[in-house]
Structure 1
Amino acid sequence: MTSLPTSSVQSLLECYLRAKDRNRPELIPECFAAEATLTFSIATDEIDFPRSVTGAAGIAKTLVSDFGERFDRCRTYYVCAEPELDAHDVCVMPWLVAMREKETEALRLGKGAYRWRIGRTSGEVDRIVALHIHIERMDTIADTGSVKLGALQAALTYPWLSPAMLMRGVRTFADAFDDAAFAVPFERPAETASLHNG
């Protein structure tokens, strides 16, 4: 076990978001171990990823470079106050993503859960050694000019977003648009129970 302080775990997870949301694949080795593993479980046909990837280079390609070719203006939110490791150095948390699909300019709004495992590498450096991403939902909403995307992102605190702030932000957003019923399923975070034993 690494017995990492919360601040160190938070730094690793924020590094991942800087890489993914800002399309900076060169940051992935700063937070993932060289032989880290990435797996997915996807409950929707609205997005597709390989079922598994091994190695920081492959993770950078899958989650940053290839992802960045399809999407921009991405913000990924950790729906919790702060990360908490269990006795096995595993951290499970819900996430929300709001981004633009480049080809269609549609708003893509998704939610799911992460299961991180932190470990010490051979160089005695703590890194993410395994990440499982569960995608519960990924909706596509017409959004000419990215008006809805901008308004939704403005209503949410980034990147750490408590469940209460998520609900408040989505409701604030929904109150501003007549056609915002699509946001209602995103008021509550994804379920995480199945990932705690995964």
Structure 2
Amino acid sequence: MASSFTKLITTYINAKDSNKPHLMNRVFSKDATLNMIVNSENISFPSKVTGLDNITVTLVEDFSMKFENVYTICLEDTIQRDDEKFFCQWLVVMNDKVTKEVKVGIGEYVWIRKDSLITSLDIKIKEMSIVDAKYQNDVLDLVSSFPYPWANAHQINDIHKYLFV
């Protein structure tokens, strides 16, 4: 599975989840674009961001000021790709640094590559649920047991028990 796309995406996840902005220049071209569709009131992002520096601020620097214990898992069994385009669904689990509430989200990535870097990323947040802070350790312990950052959907099914508490 170690294609050049998956290496780029794994580097991106490492940068975002671990607050390593210096890694973003290994993923995105200088003039890359980010388009966000957010179908939840539980999180907000700008709808369009242009340029490596602005994408880095939005997805790594600003993000890491609000959230910690971030786990982004791409679902291998949803991958569709060709030479220039890569699609997959994802799960994210993180907690708010202030309220300690846990956010559990699902969505889709569409990555467009030219040469060896990403020129466009579309992120669709289909759902972002909030789990009470009293379940923080339970949820984070569970997600930390999942394969990371790539898994199949059946490997992460246990997360659903916390979405309707």
TM-score normalized by the length of structure 2: 0.91
Counterpart for residue 74 of structure 2: 78
Provide the aligned C-alpha RMSD in A.
Answer: 2.0
Counterpart for residue 91 of structure 2: 96
Segments of structure 2 that go 5 or more residues without pairing to the other structure are none
Specify the code of the residue in structure 2 equivalent to 1:53. Answer: V
More strand by share: 2
**Hey, what's the Cα distance between the residues in 1 that align with 2:125 and 2:104?**
11
**2:127 equivalent to 1:137:** yes
Please report how far the alpha carbon of residue 86 of structure 1 lies from its aligned counterpart in structure 2 after TM superposition.
2.2
**Hey, what's the Cα distance between the residues in 1 that align with 2:163 and 2:12?**
31
Segments of structure 1 that go 5 or more residues without pairing to the other structure are 121-125, 175-179, 184-198
Specify the code of the residue in structure 2 equivalent to 1:95. Answer: W
Q: Which stretches of structure 1, 4 residues or longer, exceed 3 Å deviation after superposition?
A: 81-84
- SS of residue paired to 2:105: strand
**2:6 equivalent to 1:29:** no
Larger Rg: 1
**Hey, what's the Cα distance between the residues in 1 that align with 2:106 and 2:57?**
21
**Hey, what's the Cα distance between the residues in 1 that align with 2:22 and 2:79?**
24
**Hey, what's the Cα distance between the residues in 2 that align with 1:59 and 1:164?**
31
TM-score normalized by the length of structure 1: 0.77
Matches within 5 A, 1:113-192: 113-120=108-115, 126-144=116-134, 146-167=136-157, 169-170=158-159, 174=161, 180=162, 182=164
Please report how far the alpha carbon of residue 75 of structure 1 lies from its aligned counterpart in structure 2 after TM superposition.
0.5
Seen in structure 2, the aligned counterparts of structure 1 residues 6 and 17 have a Cα distance that, compared at 3 Å, is: same
